[in-house]
Amino acid sequence: MINPGQSFFLDTIMQLRQTENILLHSRMIELSPEEEELVTEFLKREYETESLSYPFVAPAFNAPAALWAAKLVYLSALLILYREHKNEELSSILPVYAGEQDASAILSADLCLRFLPAIHLFAKMLDHEDQLAGLLHSILVEWPYAATGSGIEAKEGQELLPADDCLRQLYIDRIIEKKDLRSASMPGIREQVQASMGNYSTTFWKELK
């Protein structure tokens, strides 16, 4: 049983998942293996619950990807509020994901990564020239599913339409939910979006012609 109060890291991630808000309980950057294990266990349960409503067959939970994204979101928020590190230290505190970015990793990371665009926007509003904002932007470029609706374009040449049936439909659904016209207008994606909306395409999303 996971209980609040066992870890500041866990408390923040639990609240993020439950309320979509970040409340920081500590300014400590260092995370213990015990905290990481608690957060991974919590996210595994969150994934199991959320994936019940996924279309087709949900990919297996990817613990390293989920933990990486949770740490990224948590530490990014800490760095925005309590910047005590030099710019050259940021990439070591917020490393890029080292594993394969398959459907399992994308959906597992998205449990927390979906909140990164808002954090990036906040950092950019505070100082658009801040290296932290630039670093978060570069990460979101690599994760277009999480960046959907943010206006951040995927890296050049990246395949946007996933091969996995579950992730592909979730991606199309998110494009529709966010009314991401740029993504919806791309060749191959437009047809999928229009097929998903069916007869409602002209009434729900008039801008998509």
d(CA 73, CA 85): 17
Read off the pTM: 0.92
**CA distances, 36 to each of 13, 71, 82, 157, 202 (Å):** 11, 9, 21, 34, 46
Neighbours of 115 (CB within 10 A): 21
* Residue 111: both structure tokens together: 């449990």
- Please enumerate in sequence order all residues whose Cβ is within 8 A of that of 76, keeping only pairs 6 or more positions apart, or say none: 94, 116, 119, 120, 123, 132, 136
Question: One-letter amino acid identity for 54?
Answer: Y
pLDDT of residue 202: 63
Could you state, in order of their start, the residue ranges of all structural domains in the chain? 8-159
Residue 158: CA count within 13 A, CB half-sphere = 15
Q: What string of pLDDT tens digits covers the 209 residues of the chain?
A: 556 567 999 999 999 999 999 988 777 788 999 999 999 999 999 999 999 999 999 999 999 999 999 999 999 999 998 877 778 899 999 999 999 999 999 999 999 999 999 999 999 998 878 899 999 999 999 999 999 999 998 887 677 789 999 999 999 999 999 999 988 888 788 889 888 888 766 677 877 76
| Residue matched to tokens 């957060």 | 39
Please provide residue 205's backbone torsions phi and psi, each rounded to the nearest 5 degrees. Answer: -140, 80
Residue ranges of the alpha helices (H) in 51-130? 63-81, 90-93, 103-113, 116-126
End-to-end Cα, the chain, rounded Å = 50
DSSP per position, 168-200: HHHHHHHHHHHT-HHHHTSTTHHHHHHHHHGGG
d(CA 144, CA 153): 7
pLDDT of residue 64: 98
Q: Are 143 and 106 in contact (CB under 8 A)?
A: yes
d(CA 112, CA 36): 14
